Amino acid sequence: MPVNPQKRPGDNLNQVAVIQTAKKSRNDELVPTLKDKQLMEKGIARTTNLSAPIMKLEGHESDIFSCEFHPDGEYLASAGFDRKIFVWSVFGEECQNVAVMSGHKGAIMEMHFSPSGDSIYTCSTDKFVSVWNVETAQRIRKMKGHQNFVNSLGNARRGVETLVSGSDDNTIKIWDARKKYVCHTFDNEYQVTAVCLNDTAEQVISGGIDNDIKIWDIRKNEIVMKLKGHSDSITGLSLSPCGNYVLSNSMDNTCRIWDIRPYCSTDRCKTVFQGHTHNFEKNLLRCVWSKDGTMISAGSADRFVYIWDVNSKKIVYKLPGHNGSVNDIDFHPKEPIILSASSDKTLYMGELLEN
C-alpha cells in the first residue's frame, strides 16, 4: 500500500489550539484560504517548523498501537497491528516515509527508540522482543523468552542498553539489548500490560490486570513498593523527566501521578486526571509526559487527544480528528508538537501553543 502523507482538512475544530494554515490547489501549490487570510490578519503566529500546523500521515494498513519521536526530533516511528514499523521524516513538505521494517509475525504492541536513536526496540504478540537498526532498516536481534503475547516494552535512559518487557504469560523479563538472552525474570500473579524502568534502570515499574502498580528491585529480586488506587487494569506507564514520578493510565478512566522516591511522607498518589475514556475495545492506551514535565497526555477511546497541565490538573487541549481509538501519543523533544496514533490507521502531528 503506498504511503500517503496528507495535510489535515481545515474544518472547524472545537477546542483545538492548532489551526490549518493552507490547503493544496490542483497544481499542488500552497494557496491561502479566506479563513487563512483572516487568521493571518489577526496575527496568529506559528510555533513550530512543521510545514502546516496539523499533519496527517497515512500508510499503515490497520490499527496503530505505538508511536514515538526520534531523540533528535527529525524523525518519528510508528507500529501496530499490520506488523510493520514505519519511519517518517517530521519536517519538510510531505513528511516522507523513509523506511518500513518488517519481520514480526504478530501485532507490534509497543515500540521505542534507543537513547542514541540508532536502534528501535519492539515487542509483539508473536512472543518476541526485537532490536532494529534504524540506518539499515533491518532487524539485528530477535529475542525469545516469553510464552505468550508481549504487551509492553521499556528501555533504560542511559548506560547499558537494558530492556524490560511484560507479557500475558504473567512474567516481566529484563534483557541486555546487545545480546539475545534474558538477564532476569520476575514472576507476577496476573498478566502484565505495562512496564517501564526507573531512572537508574535498577528497578522495574509494572502494571497489569490486577489494578496495582508494582515496583521491583532487580538486585534484591523482590517487590519493594505497591501503588494502589486504580480500580481497573493499567494500560500505560511513563516515567517523569526528573525520574521521581510515574504516570499511569487505567481502564478506570483516570490517569494518576505517583511519587516513587524511596521516602514519601504522604500519599504517593499525587494527582488524578480525568476526562478521557476507555471502552469495550480494551486497547492498551498509553500515556506520556512532555519533555519539560509540565504536561501529560493519554490515549483515549473517544477519539480525542487529551493534554493536561500538571500543576493546574486541567485539560488544556482536547484535540479531535481521529476516527478511532487514540492508542498512543508523544511530545516532540524540542518543539511544541503532539503526535498521536490511532486505530483509524492514521497518525496526526499537531502544533501546540508555546508555554
Q: How confident is the model at residue 218 (pLDDT cuts 50, 70, 90)?
A: very high
Mean pLDDT calculated for residue range 85-98: 92
CA distances (Å), origin 186, targets 162, 219, 268: 15, 12, 24
Task: Find all residues with CB under 8 Å of 60, minimum gap 6, and list them.
Answer: 78, 80, 82, 84, 86, 345, 346, 347
Give the number of C-alpha atoms closer than 13 A to the C-alpha of residue 321, restricted to the C-beta side.
32
* Backbone phi and psi for residue 342, each to the nearest 5 degrees, phi listed first: -135, 160
| β partners of residue 247 | 238, 257
Inside any domain, residue 170: yes
Grid cell for residue 240? 517523569
Reported residue count of the chain is: 355
User: Which residues make Cβ contacts (< 8 Å) with residue 280, sequence separation at least 6?
Assistant: none
**Residue 112 host element (H or E):** strand 108-113
Residue 43 backbone class (left: φ over 0; alpha: ψ -120 to 50; beta: rest): left
First vs last C-alpha separation in the chain:
39
User: What integer best gives the mean pLDDT of the chain?
Assistant: 89
- pLDDT higher than threshold 70 for residue 133: yes
Q: Kind and range of the H or E element at 247?
A: strand 245-250
Name the residue range of residue 104's domain.
6-271
Average of pLDDT values for 23-33? 39
- As a whole number of angstroms, the distance between CA 135 and CA 126 comes to 24
- Residue 261's pLDDT is 93
Res 42: pLDDT: 54
Those residues whose C-beta lies under 8 Å from the C-beta of residue 336, and which sit 6 or more positions away, are 47, 48, 351, 352, 353, 354, 355
* Exposure b/e, 197-231, CB count within 10 A at least 16 = b: bbbebebbbbbbbbbbbbbbebeeeeeebebebbe
Percent of the chain with pLDDT over 70: 86
User: What is the pLDDT averaged over residues 289-316?
Assistant: 97
Indicate if the pLDDT at residue 111 is higher than 50: yes
Q: Does residue 312 sit within a domain? A: no
Q: How confident is the model at residue 339 (pLDDT cuts 50, 70, 90)?
A: very high
Q: Does 300 map to a domain?
A: no
Instruction: Tell me if 318 is assigned to some domain.
Output: no
pTM of the model: 0.88
pLDDT at residue number 291: 96
Output the pLDDT for position 93: 78
Q: How far apart are CA 64 and CA 343, in angstroms?
A: 6
What's the rounded mean pLDDT across residues 273-302?
A: 93
| Section 314-338 average pLDDT | 97
Rounded mean pLDDT of 176-197?
95
Q: Which three cell numbers stand for residue 39?
A: 487568521
CATH of residue 114: 2.130.10.10
Confidence category of residue 13, pLDDT binned at 50, 70, 90: very low
Q: Which of 44-48, 69-73, 293-297, 309-313 shows the lowest mean pLDDT across its residues? A: 44-48
- What span, in angstroms and rounded, lies between the C-alpha atoms of 62 and 67? 14
Q: Is the pLDDT of residue 21 over 60?
A: no
Angstrom distances, CA of residue 72 to CA of 69, 97, 348 = 8, 17, 19
pLDDT of 242 higher than 80: yes
Report, as an integer, the average pLDDT of 213-225. Answer: 96
Q: What is 6-27 written as a DSSP string?
A: EEPP----TT-S-----EE-TT
Question: Does the structure show a pLDDT above 50 at 25?
Answer: no
Which is more confidently placed, 279 or 292? 292
Q: How many domains would you assign to the chain?
A: 1
Whether 120 contacts 141, CB under 8 Å: no
Q: Is residue 202 included in any domain, yes or no?
A: yes
How does residue 44 score in pLDDT terms, banded at 50, 70 and 90? low
Name the residue with higher pLDDT: 38 or 133.
133
Domain presence at residue 168: yes
Torsion (CA) 315, 321, 327, 331 in degrees, nearest 10? -60
Q: Is residue 285 part of a domain?
A: no
Judge whether 291 lies within some domain: no
pLDDT band at 316 (very low <50, low <70, confident <90, very high): very high
Is the confidence at residue 34, as pLDDT, over 60? no
CB-based burial, 129-164: b 16+ in 10 Å, e otherwise: bbbbebeeeebebebebbeebbbbbbbbeeeebbbb
Query: Beta 346-351 vs 84-89: how paired, if at all?
Result: unpaired
